[in-house]
Each structure stands twice: as C-alpha cells, then as structure tokens.
Amino acid sequence: MLKKPETLFFLGYMLLPLLALLSAIVGLTTILGGNKIVGAIILVVVTQVFAFGAFYALRARKAALLQESLSE
C-alpha cells in the first residue's frame, strides 16, 4: 500500500506538507500564547518530522516510478 506511487504522491505532495504547515501554525500560536517550551518543541520536532516525511515519500515515489518503468 505504501509502495504505490499514487499513495506516495498523496503523502509527499499533499498530506504531510499540510500537516507540517498546520503544526508550524500551532507551534507559533503556542509560543505567542506564552508556552515557549512546548511551542518550540512542536516547531522543532513535530514540524520537522512531517517535513522530512514528505521528502522521504517523494524519494520513495521516485524510486517506485523508476522501478515500475524498468520492469516494463
């Protein structure tokens, strides 16, 4: 399921970048609200996990498309 290029396209280009943006907004809102430590953790850890997850999904999609084209 996670090796299909369509699924990886959805994860890499749509879902994970949107979650990274939303977690960045939540982190900044938390910092401005007064919880600087929690906001910084959200910004540094959670946002980066989603961002790197998107890069990983795009690299996996590229490899899956290359493997698919070679097998044909």
| pLDDT of the residue at 38 | 95
| pLDDT of the residue at 32 | 96
Per the listing, tokens 């910092």 go with 31
User: How far is 38 from 34, CA to CA, in rounded Å?
Assistant: 9
Integer-rounded Cα Rg, in Å, for the chain is 16
pTM: 0.86
Percent of the chain having pLDDT more than 70?
Answer: 100
Residue ranges of domains in the chain: 5-71
Residue 56 confidence (pLDDT) above 90: yes
| pLDDT of the residue at 3 | 82
User: How far is 14 from 44, CA to CA, in rounded Å?
Assistant: 21
